[in-house]
Amino acid sequence: MPQPYAYLRGEIVPLEQAKLGVMTHAFNYGTAVFEGIRGNWNEEHQTAYLFRLREHMERLAQSAKILKMDQPDTVDRLCEIAVELTERSGYTEDVYLRPMVYLSGEVLGVRLHNVEVDNLIFLAPFPAYLPEVAHCHTSTWRRVQDTGIPPRAKVTGIYVNSALAKTEANLNGFDEAIMLNENGHVSEGSGENIFMIRKGKLITPTPADNVLEGITAASVIELAREELGIETVEREIDRTELFIADEVFMTGTAAHLTPVVEVDRRKVGDGTPGPITKKLSDLFYDTIRGKSQKYAHWCTPVRARVTS
């Protein structure tokens, strides 16, 4: 039986003992940065592959830097702990690891300085996040921008913006929201980067379009270039370009690579996943489950530790 563990205040403890007080700064003010990391289960290998573990811990450190938080643990140490938690917890299915740097001080007052900081990590089973193909709409909520709360940092408080968009989409019968930035250009999904294909070119918004610089997106861009010879263009995208795009898909740690088959009740292409999306998707899923020798360095293998 899996037995979930968490890392809190410098110690690995059973998940049910990992508790925070009600005055915790991060809980009151959204002052935490976090990551999501997939442990992709490979039944044949009886192994979970942590996808781009180090890159996620590095982005966590960058998010902390933007918020001027000095995290206690190094990137190396956090990678080790992530592996140990996955081993000890013993899941034999897809999991999701949630590392965080959070203001742990139990003090009142809105600020980022002079408050204690801690690292935590927990993990939980996490099956597919989006359906196999997604029906999307353009959100009435605009993406937060760098001049307000920087979306380049994965700040917990920002996810109110995402949650507003996601709930609006779901309550209106859509699987996911596409958010525009304050300039009216396509930014990203509530928890995914977005790509479109027009005339054989892969196109995605620029990092200055108020997106999180996605690790899945970077991986897909590399796979497209290396394996299919398709370069990616980063440029501004208008909402109506999505209506006439040949193919659209979303990428993210939770969503993996999900084809978008409808935007604002208009079919993308013929309303089924297109040929480039399908090829990329096959390459991507093989890679993340540790089946590709060439991209083995993206995957950290973890075998469940058998405990008596």
Nearest distance from C-beta of residue 217 to ligand PMP, angstroms: 6
Q: Determine the Cα–Cα distance for residues 225 and 217; give it in Å rounded to an integer.
A: 12
> Which of these, 58, 105, 102, lies nearest to 82 by C-alpha position?
58
4 binds ligand PMP (CB under 6 A): no
Nearest distance from C-beta of residue 59 to ligand PMP, angstroms: 7
3-state DSSP percent of the chain in helix, strand and coil, to 5: 30, 30, 40
Enumerate residues 8-67 that contact ligand PMP by CB under 6 A.
36
What is the maximum span of the chain, computed from C-alpha positions, in angstroms? 58
H/E run at residue 81: helix 75-89
Q: Identify the sign of the CA torsion 289, 38, 134, 270.
A: negative
Cα separations in angstroms, 185 against 116, 200, 227, 235, 242: 38, 21, 30, 10, 11
Cβ distance to ligand PMP smaller for residue 86 or 219: 219
Cβ distance to ligand PMP smaller for residue 115 or 192: 192
Nearest distance from C-beta of residue 218 to ligand PMP, angstroms: 8
Helix axes 53-66, 75-89, angle to 10 degrees: 130
H/E run at residue 171: helix 159-171
Nearest distance from C-beta of residue 264 to ligand PMP, angstroms: 20
Interface with ligand PMP (CB under 6 A), residue total 14
139 binds ligand PMP (CB under 6 A): no
193 binds ligand PMP (CB under 6 A): yes
Look up 267 and say whether it is catalytic.
Answer: no
> Which of these, 101, 97, 61, lies nearest to 82 by C-alpha position?
97
Binder of ligand PMP out of 73, 118, 175, 188 (CB under 6 A):
188
Nearest distance from C-beta of residue 241 to ligand PMP, angstroms: 19
Pick the catalytic residue from 68, 154, 199, 201.
154
Cβ distance to ligand PMP smaller for residue 115 or 136: 136
DSSP sequence for 235-302: ---BHHHHHH-SEEEEEETTTEEEEEEEETTEESTTSS--HHHHHHHHHHHHHHTT--STTGGGEEEE
List the structure tokens of 172.
């209106």
Q: Which stretch binds ligand PMP (CB under 6 A): 89-97, 103-111, 184-192, 266-274?
A: 184-192
Contact pattern for ligand PMP over residues 206 through 235, marking x by CB under 6 A: ------x-xxxx------------------
Enumerate residues 164-183 that contact ligand PMP by CB under 6 A.
none
- Residues annotated as catalytic (active site), given as ranges: 154
Q: Contact positions toward ligand PMP, by CB under 6 A?
A: 36, 162, 188, 191-193, 212, 214-217, 251-253
